[in-house]
Amino acid sequence: MRKELKDFLRSEDMILYLPRDYNKDIISQWTNCRSLLRPPLNWFLIKFAKLIPITSWICSYYRFFLRMKIGKLVGFAQINPDHLLPEAIEIGDYSAFGWKVSIFTHEFTQHRMRFGKVKIGKNVLVGAFSIIRSGVSIGHNSIIAPYSFVIGDIPANEIWGGNPAIKIRDKSPLHKHIDLKRNLSNTNGASLKVNRELKKSKVINFDKYLD
């Protein structure tokens, strides 16, 4: 099963199901697909990361030791990445995670094992104590309210919350203006054009800036 898991990580698939070994209890199923040392080592590494005071160091630490895919200027409070398969987590630029956010990439049930990638877009805000289930993607610029349980995909530019998380509303035009200015800040002159239009009107056609 280790080969199937490695192939899954290299593929474009978001979810992998593997059959349960009925000669083992449910919790011990992970020994069929991971080395005996890897999860305990990841657990220790994740605990140590909570002592690191600077988020840019935490990002580098997660990239190197846990092989998580993390963009630039991502902000972390003390979070809990999955200790069994953290390398299935991908986080886009400028995203931020509140206190004790948990990101899971596996779950075991009575009859099967489920592994899932988690893909979080750019400029996403995940509130404190939220839980993200395996196999979930969150679109750019979206917001997850604190204490939410995200069990399905969330589109871009939306605000979700609750247990399970449901859509609360679309993001306001002001939020979208700010997000776009950030995303275009390194684009040749585009942010200056957006600034000029922001002064003229509250409603802007952004399509011409996104080509």
Q: What is the pLDDT of residues 101-158, one digit of tens each?
A: 999 999 998 999 999 999 999 999 999 999 999 999 999 999 999 999 999 999 999 9
- 């630490």: which residue's tokens? 61
Cβ contacts of 111 within 8 Å, gap of 6 or more: 19, 20
- 């800036």: which residue's tokens? 209
How far is residue 70 CA from its own chain's centroid?
9
Percent of the chain's residues with pLDDT above 90: 71
Give the whole-angstrom CA distance, residue 12 versus residue 91: 16
Residue 174's pLDDT is 55
Q: How confident is the model at residue 204 (pLDDT cuts 50, 70, 90)?
A: very low
Cβ density class 154-191: b for 16+ within 10 Å, e for less: bebbbbbbeeebeeeeebeeeebbebbebbbeeeeebb
Average pLDDT score, the chain: 86
Q: How confident is the model at residue 201 (pLDDT cuts 50, 70, 90)?
A: very low
DSSP state of 154: B
